[in-house]
Structure 1
């Protein structure tokens, strides 16, 4: 047995889940990664994930969080001119 994504889109779904949990549940990225993988919805054998894949997931989730924060700052206040 080895770690594997269930579908080709599973990795992206996992990253979306991590970002959502960090933003809405006030989890750290590491907690969100552990929780998301442990549910085994997008992957099989999450306990066998490589350190390289974990670092990659964390890096991409952090990039998405930064992108969301930048976008949030760029949106003008409603009614403002």
Structure 2
């Protein structure tokens, strides 16, 4: 089954995929973004994503990454 870019749903999935690659795979943010965008076997019609949308996606991904980092710092370490 191929991934088709549909703005209303694909945005959240794409952001989650990039953030997951960065956090669990240890990829750099830009590398994870490009890798996720270029999955030709799984992705179709990614050429329909405008440059404005790509910039917006990058901003949103960075915001999610900051929120995750803030949450990590806010949660106290377990005593033990």
Q: Shorter-chain TM-score: what band? A: 0.7 to 0.9
Structure 2 unaligned segments of length 5 or more: list them: none
1:11 Cα shift?
1.0
Count of equivalent residues:
76
Distance 2:68 2:52 in 1: 25
User: Residue 65 of structure 1 aligns with which residue?
Assistant: 65
RMSD: 2.2
Cα shift readout 1:8-65 (whole Å, capped 9, x = no counterpart): 3221010000111111222222211111122254x53224532211111110000000
Distance 1:20 1:54 in 2: 18
User: Residue 10 of structure 2 aligns with which residue?
Assistant: 10
Structure 1 unaligned segments of length 5 or more: list them: none
- TM-score (ref. length: structure 2): 0.77
**TM superposition outliers: structure 1 runs of 4+ over 3 Å:** none
Give yes or no for contact 2:18–2:61 (8 Å, CA) kept in 1: yes
Matched, 1:77 2:71: no
